[in-house]
Amino acid sequence: MAFGLNFLLALMKAILSYLSGSLAITASAIDSGIDAVASFAILVGILLSEKKFRSFPMGLYKLENVAAVIIAIFIFIAGYEMILRILQPAKTAPTISPLTILLIFSGTVAAFFFGRYATATGKKTESPTLIAEGRHRQVDVLASIVVLASITVSYLDVTIYFLGLSIDRIAAILILVFIVKAGWELLSSGMRVLLDASIDAETLYRIRTIIDSHPKVDDIQSLIGRSAGRFRFIQGTITVRTKNLEEAHRIREEIEAKIRDRVPHMEKIMIHCGPQIRTHELLALPLNDTEGRISSHFGEAPYFGFVRIGLKDKTVEHLGIVENPHRSVETAKGIRVAEWLISQGVDHVGMKENISHKGPGYVLSNAGVQAHHIREETIDRATTWIIIEIT
């Protein structure tokens, strides 16, 4: 639809430019012609980007951007030619008829309503392309108003000069500014894609947050992204809290599905999952007191002991006892405690109470925290038994 409107406006303005001799209308015709060619290039790019070939397995999505760079070069050439025409002395004044004014006014109204429609549809469908098209139409309306004012003044035979330039040439210069701006935007956006520019920082941060929110992700070692027009590509390496390859594969699929659901226009996501190479692990034990006696309860335990275990020599590197911050809550204290332990980076939990089929057990399991059923009465004996089990 955008291509059809731009093509009709360009054709109409080209005819009016030839009949009237107005530089302002000529510049506006060039502007609409550029929009038509750009819309056509985007359409071709969309169609070609969806096709995969043996020699181009990633698709031909960059053709759209190659076309944008070529169009930008022609825009600058057209702008240069326009400047030469503006600087040449005028042989005759432009011939403006009421029909010319009416047609330019009609084109302005059409661009205005199409811009409103494209913006509203873009917001409804969350399409950045349509939103951008709507905003571009607003700029076109402004440029058309400049042309409309210029030819109306010429039709009324009002003589206005500024720095030796007629109102028609001043309007042409203003439209030329819009043309050069459009050319620069096409050139810069096209070159960013061809040079594999990074995805914007806000989107990359959103993707990092999605990955980091998965309970079994231990660390994000690397995460890079690049944008190609509306297409986005993500590549990263993460470590997960599992040594099971099938479970690691499932975690990767879950993360990729969340990214596609929350971030639009994701063309390809490549995330490599691997187990964390660990030098130590953290064990948590529910305690009755600061002396280290094991509690029979999980959520209601007054204290928790945190034991840092060195995996190389199987020794206790550090022992700390912390009050249970959720002991006094009335509901779901076990789940709250489990979430708190996960936030502390716990890898193992030892307890006398069997919570494997309860809410806290599911929370710990989903986060990759291993639960150990113990019978020992003190933190030292329980730690010794668990070290033997995990190493």
Look at residues 123, 104, 170, 119 and name the one whose alpha carbon lies nearest to residue 2: 119
- 156 and 106 belong to one structural domain: yes
Provide the pLDDT confidence category of residue 46 given band limits of 50, 70 and 90: low
pLDDT band, residue 158 (cuts 50/70/90): low
If asked whether residues 221 and 355 sit together in one domain, one would say no
Q: What's the confidence (pLDDT) of residue 104?
A: 80
Please tell me whether residues 300 and 382 are part of one structural domain: yes
Nearest to 10 by CA among 46, 34, 40: 34
pLDDT digits (tens, 9 = 90+) for 178-191: 777 767 776 776 67
**Which has the higher per-residue pLDDT, 346 or 184?**
346
Same domain, 126 and 222: no
7 and 116 in a single domain? The answer is yes
Which band of pLDDT confidence, cut at 50, 70 and 90, is reported for residue 52? Answer: low
| 315 and 243 fall within a common domain | no
- pLDDT exceeds 70 at position 306: yes
90 is written with which tokens? 């005028």
Tell me the C-alpha distance between 287 and 295, whole Å: 5
Q: Give the mean pLDDT of the chain.
A: 78
| Residue-number span of the structural domain to which 152 is assigned | 2-194
| Domain count within the chain | 3
| pLDDT value at 268 more than 60 | yes
The runs of H, that is alpha helices, within 50-127 are 63-87, 98-125
Pair (57, 133) in one structural domain: yes
- pLDDT value, residue 177: 77
The kind and range of the H/E element at 236 are strand 231-240
pLDDT at site 378: 92
* Residue 197 banded pLDDT, cuts 50, 70, 90: low
Assign 276 a pLDDT band (cuts: 50, 70, 90): low
Is the predicted pLDDT of residue 90 greater than 60, yes or no?
Answer: no
61, 175: one domain: yes
What's the pLDDT at 204? 87
- Whether residue 219 has pLDDT greater than 90: no
Per-residue pLDDT band at 305 (split at 50, 70, 90)? very high
Domain identity same for 45 and 113 = yes
Asked if residue 190 and residue 249 are part of one domain, the reply reads no
Boundary (domain end) residue, out of 194, 225, 255? 194
**Highest mean predicted confidence (pLDDT) among 29-33, 197-201, 267-271, 384-388:** 384-388
